Amino acid sequence: ALPLRESVSLEQGATSVINPLAASAFVEIAKKGGHKAIVLSAAASSLGRMVNRLASGEGIDVINVVRRDAQIELLRQQGASIVLNSSDSGFDEALRDACHQHDVHLAFDAVAGELTGQLLRALPSHGKVTVFGALSFEPPQVTPGQLIFENKSLDGFWLGPYISSKNLVQTMLMWRRAQKLLSTDLKSNIRAEYPLEDAPRAVEEYVSQMTGGKVLLRPNA
């Protein structure tokens, strides 16, 4: 169990584990690898916005990939300077140009499917795509030539094993830092709360607009 600081509200506490720790992990991985820039898909999500805020504080540029123009504006309002729409006809070329201009060799992909291959193709030689989700509900589509002739690679990220690989002190330090940032860089926007008996309606609302903030269930509402 991870202890919750008294200064953290129950609402923020309910959203304090998966996204905040994953965002912290991505930035930590980038820093340890000496990366000055990364690519991030599904960048308008709560997790994506957290990564942007954390990365900015660490001097890491983020090339953001989204699916809709409205999401571009959302990220730019937050201060993101590079946001690309994967639905645009010139996306592949724009992504490649951005990756080579910023010397990006690491991408975090929440979508999988065709997008994984697009990300890998856009990276320079020795680039790597880390898949941490499958929003497309499709397997990553990567050609062998990218792996064989361009020395590129593909791996996965799962928060549970990542945390388990740390010792107790490292885990508690990571958790302590995350909680300090829950009101700023790691804050989750909460747009609605429902009693537990209205769980189906809560799920419907969240699915209808997943970038509009979190929906919480209250057992005793």
Which one, of 62, 92, 99, lies nearest residue 80 by Cα?
62
Per-residue confidence (pLDDT) for residue 4, from 0 to 100: 72
- What dihedral do alpha carbons 106, 92, 100, 30 form, nearest 10°? -20
Alpha helices in 68-113 (DSSP H): 69-78, 91-101
In the three-class reduction of DSSP (H, G, I as helix; E, B as strand; rest coil), residue 9 is classed as coil
DSSP 8-class letter at 220: T
Handedness of CA 65, 71, 76, 77 (dihedral sign): negative
Residue 91: CB partners within 8 Å, gap ≥ 6?
84, 85, 118
- Using 50 as the pLDDT threshold, list the residues of the chain that sit under it: none
Distances from the Cα of 84 to the Cα of 18, 63, 70, 76, 106, angstroms: 25, 8, 11, 11, 16
Per-residue confidence (pLDDT) for residue 196, from 0 to 100: 85
Kindly state the greatest CA–CA separation across the chain. 58
Per-residue confidence (pLDDT) for residue 15, from 0 to 100: 67
3-state helix, strand, coil in the chain (%, to 5): 45, 15, 40
Position 201, amino acid:
R
